[in-house]
Amino acid sequence: MEINKRIKEIRKALGMTQVQFSDRLGIRQSSLSAIESGETGKVDERNIRIICTEFNVNEEWIRNGAGEMFNSSDNLMELLGSRIKTLTETDKKIITEYLKLTPKQRKSMIGFIKRMF
């Protein structure tokens, strides 16, 4: 499977439309459509990095199909814990549960948190 098909598969797995997904990438929907259909030859490195970071996608999987589509939350917590020494187990649990939310649920959660401040 080519990278363009893997990108489409990620978007579908997240239950997002092309408009929603392209908004998160900061590109036009027509650009995403061209990527997914293979019209765009090479996928921009910036877009690959954003997809991996924004959606917790395994970089090896998106680039060559190796491994699982998404990084496990355990691996992510390990990485965060090694970089941010002050994370407590509660912090890690909150982050893990947040990552399980749909984009719509995350938006609601962020709105709630902003209202608290």
**CA 77 to the chain's CA centroid:** 15
Summarize pLDDT for 2-12 with one digit per residue, the tens.
Answer: 999 999 999 99
The set of long-range contacts for 11-18, using a CB threshold of 8 Å and a minimum separation of 24, is: 11/36, 13/69, 13/70, 14/55, 14/102, 14/103, 15/102, 15/103, 16/103
Domain positions in the chain are 3-64, 73-116
Computed on alpha carbons and rounded to an integer, the radius of gyration of the chain in Å comes to: 16
- C-alpha to C-alpha distance for 58 and 72, rounded to whole angstroms: 9
Summarize pLDDT for 14-72 with one digit per residue, the tens.
Answer: 889 999 999 999 999 999 999 999 998 889 999 999 999 888 899 999 999 999 898 87
Residue 70 is classified by DSSP as B
CATH number for the 3-64 domain, one of 1.10.260.40, 1.10.260.30, 3.30.70.360, 3.40.640.10? 1.10.260.40
- C-alpha to C-alpha distance for 40 and 61, rounded to whole angstroms: 19
* pTM attached to this predicted model: 0.65
pLDDT tier, 74 (very low <50, low <70, confident <90, very high otherwise)? low
- C-alpha to C-alpha distance for 79 and 103, rounded to whole angstroms: 23
Alpha helices by DSSP H, listed for the chain, are: 3-13, 18-25, 29-37, 45-55, 59-64, 73-83, 89-99, 103-116
